[in-house]
Amino acid sequence: MRSWLSVTLCCAVLVGGCQSTTGSTSDQTGESGLPTVSASELPDEARQTLVLIAQGGPFRFSQDGATFLNREGLLPPRPAGYYTEYTVVTPGEFDRGARRIVAGDGGDHYYTADHYASFREVTTQ
């Protein structure tokens, strides 16, 4: 079961809220120490993926919901099994593409547009 942050993200995505009053959040860092991105600033497909995560699916790809091992070491260190990964559909791609949302058991979410080479922590602000 996902935490209150997942529910908050889902609600923010559905109502189109969470607009930052100070502009882009990409120059700020989150609790993880990573750059942040507001859920409202994510691509439409990433916002839809957040909604599906909060709802528990259904997901398009069999790999969605698989354990993400953080082999790159870019996300905060957590016990094995803490993170799961979900595909963010990329228009024009015939496979899963490079975009993902990685969700933590604590309700934390991270977006990568470059297949785990970099991450941004998803915020509701």
CATH class of 4-123: alpha beta
Catalytic (active site) residue 109: no
Q: pLDDT tens, 99-123?
A: 999 999 999 999 999 999 999 999 9
Identified catalytic residue from 41, 85, 109, 121: 85
Cα–chain center distance at 94? 21
Q: Yes or no: say if 38 and 16 are a contact pair by the CB < 8 Å rule.
A: no
Q: pLDDT tens, 84-103?
A: 999 999 999 889 999 999 99
Beta bridge partner(s), residue 120 = 111
Q: pLDDT tens, 13-60?
A: 444 443 333 334 456 888 899 999 999 999 999 999 999 999 999 999
Structural domain spans, the chain: 4-123
The span from the CA of 38 to the CA of 3, in Å, is 18
Catalytic (active site) residue 85: yes
Angle of CA points 40, 44, 47, to nearest 5°? 60
